[in-house]
Amino acid sequence: QQQVKQSPQSLIVQKGGISIINCAYENTAFDYFPWYQQFPGKGPALLIAIRPDVSEKKEGRFTISFNKSAKQFSLHIMDSQPGDSATYFCAASINAGRRALTFGSGTRLQVQP
Amino acid sequence: GAVVSQHPSWVICKSGTSVKIECRSLDFQATTMFWYRQFPKQSLMLMATSNEGSKATYEQGVEKDKFLINHASLTLSTLTVTSAHPEDSSFYICSVPDRGNYGYTFGSGTRLTVV
């Protein structure tokens, strides 16, 4: 599997602040870039996803920024809440749905009240 | 997205025994499903791609004789951990491609503890 590099490994943000998680990829054949949220003991749940034909996608408090030339994408969580405390994974796939996802290493987010 | 059911949610077994984990696609027929393994505080690592009606495709380093995958119907894939050992203790998660081939839905995961 091609690698997807994710940073930071952990992140502490105050309530109401902005959480930013970054990912970089190598394989230019990737055409689907989702972000997943995972709580302990649960399977990952899709937060938001983007395809490389757009540079930004926003859904509620969550925004993906995508830079195709730099092969980077990031997740911004606006107005972070304690309930957002979880592990976040970026991922990428080729021919979305027909090939498995390659996951980043994960970011443990803690939002302090 | 797809509706995915994974069972059991947790299982404890003795070393040397086998354990079967089921992954069901409840709302549409899935010709492909994926199995991942996740160790504590680590990312999800793809183990194998389950193909309906044919052999699974295993990732490098995953023992196909130890992790048996059966995708006998379009709605069910099973992962059997054979002759389980404590090092097989992990969180196993299945994934189903969503309808229309955009996105994936994950099962709730199975926590396997081998004692």
CB pairs A-B closer than 8 Å: 65
Chain B contacts of A43, Cβ < 8 Å?
A: 6, 93, 106-109
- Cβ contact B36:B43 at 8 Å: no
Cα torsion A44, A47, A52, A53: sign:
positive
> Would you give the DSSP letter of residue B38?
E
For the beta carbon of residue A24, count every other beta carbon within 10 angstroms: 17
DSSP A93: B
Residue A84: strand, helix, or coil: helix
Over its length of 113 residues, how does chain A's per-residue pLDDT go in tens digits?
469 999 999 999 999 999 999 999 999 999 999 999 999 999 999 999 999 999 999 999 999 999 999 999 999 999 999 999 999 999 999 876 678 899 999 999 999 99
Please report how many Cα atoms fall inside a 13 Å half-sphere around the Cα of residue A21, on the Cβ side.
32
| Cross-chain residue pair B103–A45, CB shorter than 8 Å | no
Cβ of A44 and B105 within 8 Å?
no
B48-100, pLDDT tens digit by residue? 999 988 899 999 999 999 999 999 889 999 999 999 999 999 999 999 988 76
Are A90 and A4 a contacting pair, CB within 8 Å?
yes
The answer to whether A97 contacts B100, with C-beta atoms less than 8 Å apart, is: yes
CA distance A79 to A1: 35
